[in-house]
Amino acid sequence: MNRNVGQIDQTIRYILAIILVLIAVFGNNYFQSPYFLWLLVPAVILGFTAAVSWCMVYRLFGIDTCDFDKKE
């Protein structure tokens, strides 16, 4: 897998993941809310794609925000 998520994009993904987790946990009756999983699943996906610097959606559309020199 080649990296296709840049540093700025990665930081934004981490921030959004943290915000979604905080809203899911502290938003409405903790784990009893039906919105808990609807917010937690995208947060996990955003956190994972930021951690590995690779996004499947970017790959499908040919987007590459990674700015380091690629060695081939």
Could you list the pLDDT tens digit for every one of the 72 residues in the chain? Answer: 788 999 999 999 999 999 999 888 887 666 666 778 888 999 999 999 999 999 999 989 988 988 775 544
Structure tokens at 2: 């080649």
Cβ atoms of residues 6 and 49 within 8 Å = no
pLDDT value at residue 42: 94
Single pTM value for the model:
0.81
* Length of the chain as a residue count: 72
Instruction: Quote the pLDDT of residue 69.
Output: 54
Closest CA to 24 of 8, 35, 15, 9: 35
